[in-house]
Amino acid sequence: MTAVALAVMLLANGANKVGLVNRAATMAARGETAEARHLLEGLVTSSNPSALFVLACIELEELRFESASSLAQRLASVRPGAPEAVVLARLIEERKRAPDDRWTDVAARAWSASGRPTPAAKPLLGTIDSHRPIDQAALARAQRPGDRLLLEFGRDQEGSSDLIEAALAEANAAERPLGVHLVAMHVLMDEAVPQEKRLLAQGAALDLLARVARSHPEEGYLSSGVVLLRSDAQAPLTDSDLASLEEALKRKTFALPIRALYDAFEAAYEQVDPGQAQSRAFFETTGALPLEIHLALSRRAAATADPALRDRAAAVLTAAGSRLETGATFLDRMIGLSLQTKGAELRGDASPMAAVGKRRAHLSDLMSKGRAFWQYQWPIASLWRDHFVRNITDEVGYHEHMSR
């Protein structure tokens, strides 16, 4: 065999091993640990460092601490100083000490105790992506009303005829979870809806939003959308509009409906592919949020020229921004800061700008520090699940915890 042919064969063999380990890591992150173990058998015997890492994470997931520690020690000996090995050792210690704690709390303590090492130039694993297409046979298992729309939302292109028809059907259905109705509204309001269907779709979406606001009177953000979206996005705010917005700001909550969307998507995906339920729900939620509501507020406030109404519009922007800034997610808070900035601009008042800028910089820094642990790929299904849930329910607090 020539030197060139041998080199090609060795490269191909190395690439096959990398692909095999990354596939096993994805399976482990989905909770398919038996299949992942099977893929890793030969590679672990030969002390492949990436395979040792994945199998150690599987053992840790299943609370086999002695085996996990043994594999972590082998990893440290074949890849001295690997940052993944340093953090993994702390993860094992912390999980063994507190096996009933939520996984993200364990991860935060381990990350702090490990000294938050900088990733190596060549990580042990490639990016884990637990998503995969949902086939028709799996879709047939979705039996709850509205679930087919949620699952089709992740499959079809925006503006597809099937998706629009499904959204219209759900918009006209009375008893549906809030998340289902929000997805239907998002599909029908989308600019990708063909021109010939746009008037019908937008009318159905606005009617649906009005019904949702009546059935969820505590939701100030959605109630404000009823006022803001019924006119052109550049239409000035009227006295009546502002009175309604001022009333909406007094409601119990004024936040993006993130949890309602996440819960609906998670329940739908649990029926057809539990291994990606939390990650897919998180991903789809971000694409279905009714962000057009706060955008319409900004645009219509800016278009309001009457001095008295403009002052009230500025006050509404500031108040809406302040409410959103108390939200649990970075998106809530960043939008809140943006609205407060626009309120100050509308008043011609530069004094709040510096303080808003500092709070925005603080959030950006917190996002960066809080995500540092996830520069590494962790093939631990229960850790991933808790990570997504925590990002939905207490993202800012979670990142603060990971930064301490």
CA-closest candidate to residue 256, choices 288, 289, 223, 297:
289
Q: What's residue 141's pLDDT?
A: 83
Confirm if 245 and 224 have CB atoms less than 8 A apart: yes
The crossing angle, in degrees rounded to 10, of helices 83-97 and 65-78 is 160
- Report, in this order, helix, strand and coil percent for the chain, each rounded to 5: 70, 0, 30
Residue type, 291: L
CA-closest candidate to residue 178, choices 254, 281, 264:
264
Q: How far apart are CA 109 and CA 88, in angstroms?
A: 12
List residues bridging with 219 in a β-sheet: 253
Both tokens assigned to 392: 């939905």
CA-closest candidate to residue 277, choices 287, 265, 285, 289:
265
Q: How far apart are CA 16 and CA 388, in angstroms?
A: 31
Both tokens assigned to 267: 């329940």
Q: How far apart are CA 188 and CA 202, in angstroms?
A: 6
The long-range contacts involving 31-40, CB below 8 angstroms and separated by at least 24 positions, are 31/274, 31/275, 31/381, 31/382, 32/275, 33/58, 33/61, 33/62, 33/381, 36/379
- DSSP single-letter state for residue 231: S
**Per-residue pLDDT of the chain in tens (404 residues, 90 and over written 9):** 444 333 323 333 445 888 999 999 999 999 999 999 999 988 988 899 999 999 999 999 999 999 999 999 999 999 999 999 999 999 999 999 999 999 999 999 999 999 999 999 999 999 999 898 887 788 888 878 899 999 999 886 666 888 999 999 999 998 899 999 999 999 999 989 999 999 999 999 999 999 999 999 999 999 999 999 999 989 999 999 999 999 999 999 999 999 999 999 999 999 999 999 999 999 999 999 999 999 999 999 999 999 999 999 999 999 999 999 999 999 999 999 999 999 999 999 988 989 999 999 999 999 999 999 999 999 999 999 999 999 999 999 999 999 99
The crossing angle, in degrees rounded to 10, of helices 3-29 and 381-403 is 80
Q: How far apart are CA 385 and CA 392, in angstroms?
A: 11
Count of alpha carbons within 13 angstroms of residue 160, beta-carbon side? 11
Both tokens assigned to 102: 């939520």
CA-closest candidate to residue 309, choices 247, 243, 254:
243
Confirm if 378 and 124 have CB atoms less than 8 A apart: no
Q: How far apart are CA 180 and CA 194, in angstroms?
A: 22
pTM of the entire structure? 0.92
Name the 3-class secondary structure at 253: strand
- DSSP single-letter state for residue 275: G
Contacts with 121 (C-beta within 8 Å, 6 or more apart), sequence order: none
Name the 3-class secondary structure at 131: coil
For every residue of 94-118, DSSP letters joined together read HHHH-TTS-HHHHHHHHHHHTT-PP
- DSSP single-letter state for residue 352: T
For every residue of 337-395, DSSP letters joined together read HHHHHHHHHHHT--TTHHHHHHHHHHHHHHHHHHTGGGGS----HHHHHHHHHHHHHHH
